[in-house]
Structure 1
Amino acid sequence: MNFKDLSNKALISDSDIDWEDLGAGVKRKIMAYDNPLMLVKVEFEKDAIGTIHNHPHLQMSYVAKGSFEVSMGDDKKILNEGDVFFAPSNVFHGVVCLEAGLLIDIFNPHREDFLK
């Protein structure tokens, strides 16, 4: 199933969505989105890096599995399963995966750039 088909679905099965390989030990699944919101699963191998970046979207990320060193602006902190980080608009942020893990990212508005 193509993830572009998900915009009108309310009940979504993980098994219906293919992983998108982003390279360097990182892959993602766009689970659901509409105009203001998007939920994305991002899986990291140990030592994989979510490069420091920023964007105009609000982002909340839940550590569903593993351990990550999270950089947010000038701050760094190790977050583990059950922890959350919030990236305000245009604040530089990124992660280093310390133990194979999974982040659940929520964006507002949805990431048009992910849909191309």
Structure 2
Amino acid sequence: MNFKDLTNKTLITDKDIDWDDLGAGVKRKVMPFDDNLMLVKVAFEKDAIGTIHNHPHLQLSYVAKGSFEVTMGDDKKILNEGDVFFAPTMIFHGVVCLEAGILVDIFNPHREDFL
């Protein structure tokens, strides 16, 4: 399935979308999106790093599995399955995976750089 097939799609099965291996123990799966909203699954091996970065998008992330040390601006906290973090526009944030896991990221607007 290519990204064009995901635009404005309303019913998608997980098995129909391939993981994109980003290297260093991180892989990403872009799920359905439109111009305003995007859902992305990100799988991390233990000790993998989501490098500190910022972007103009709003981001809400749900810890679907595992444990992560999350940096948000000057704050750090360990989040586990079921926990959530919110990254406002342009705030520096990142994660270190403490126990293999998956983050479910939601962006507004969609991340053109992921396509």
Q: How does 1:20-31 map to 2 (within 5 A)?
A: 20-31=20-31
Greater shift in the superposed pair: 65-74 or 7-16:
7-16
Corresponding residue number in structure 2 for 1:50 = 50
Cα drift, residue 9 of structure 1 = 1.1
1 CA distance for matches of 2:90 and 2:67? 24
Corresponding residue number in structure 1 for 2:90 = 90
Q: CA RMSD in A?
A: 0.6
Tell me, yes or no, if structure 1 residue 76 matches structure 2 residue 60: no
Unmatched tracts of structure 1, length 5 or more: none
2 CA distance for matches of 1:71 and 1:60? 14
Percent of residue pairs identical: 84
TM-score (norm 2): 0.98
> Structure 2 counterpart of 1:54, which letter?
N
TM-score (norm 1): 0.97
Runs of 4+ in 1 over 6 A off after TM superposition: none
Unmatched tracts of structure 2, length 5 or more: none
Corresponding residue number in structure 1 for 2:41 = 41
